[in-house]
Amino acid sequence: MSSTGSGPAAIPWAELEAAALAVRDRAYAPYSKFHVGAAVLVDGTIYTGANVENASYPLCVCAERCAIGVAVAAGGTRLAAVAVCTDASPPSSPCGACRQVLVEFAIDPATVEVVAINPAGERRRWTLAQLLPDSFSGRELPT
């Protein structure tokens, strides 16, 4: 795995972006035609997911939440980085529901980066804390 970045565990951005781009082609989006692929780095492993639409729109599943579900099913819980790929220009950020789910698994929302890309090579980058400031988490719940 090639890695770029800094800190104790460098993020393999090239692999994350390539995985998000590749899985985008597997999205099931017959209604919106908005294909999304996501790759998450959880506990050192890259997991992918694609959006899955349904004729009953509230039952649709976003790519980011799909990827987190795959990671959790494999036993992963510590999110370190996210790549999301859409055809939009500029590339789309995760929706609000996905931001909340990503924060749930983030090692630290202030340091977990999210990069949004498109096939044309455009990029946007944020931390989860920037995307969801003052987020609600399990820390607020009584123990």
Q: Within a domain: residue 7? A: no
Q: Within a domain: residue 43? A: yes
pTM above 0.75?
Answer: yes
Report percent pLDDT > 90 for the chain: 88
- Tell me if 43 sits within 8 A of 14, measured CB to CB: no
CATH number of the domain where residue 52 is located: 3.40.140.10
pLDDT per position as a tens digit, 88-131: 999 999 999 999 999 999 999 999 999 999 999 999 999 999 99
Q: Within a domain: residue 26? A: yes
Q: Within a domain: residue 127? A: yes
Active site annotation includes 104: no
Burial 98-119 (b: 16+ CB within 10 A, else e): bbbbbbbbbbebeebbbbbbbe
Statement: residue 60 has pLDDT above 90:
yes
Tell me the backbone φ, ψ of residue 52, rounded to 5 degrees: -130, 110
Q: How many domains does the chain have?
A: 1
How far from the centroid of its chain's Cα atoms is residue 53's Cα?
17
pLDDT attached to residue 133: 95
Statement: residue 4 has pLDDT above 60:
no
Q: Within a domain: residue 4? A: no
Statement: residue 1 has pLDDT above 80:
no
pLDDT per position as a tens digit, 23-34: 999 999 999 999
Query: What distance in Å separates the CA atoms of residue 22 and residue 10, rounded to the nearest whole number?
Result: 22
Q: Which is it for the CA torsion 132, 10, 3, 48, positive or negative?
A: negative
Q: Within a domain: residue 139? A: no
Q: Within a domain: residue 57? A: yes
Q: Which of 17, 53, 64, 113 is catalytic?
A: 64
Structural domain that includes position 106 = 13-131
Mean pLDDT of 56-84: 97
Q: Within a domain: residue 67? A: yes
Bin 121: left if φ > 0, else alpha if -120 < ψ < 50, else beta. left
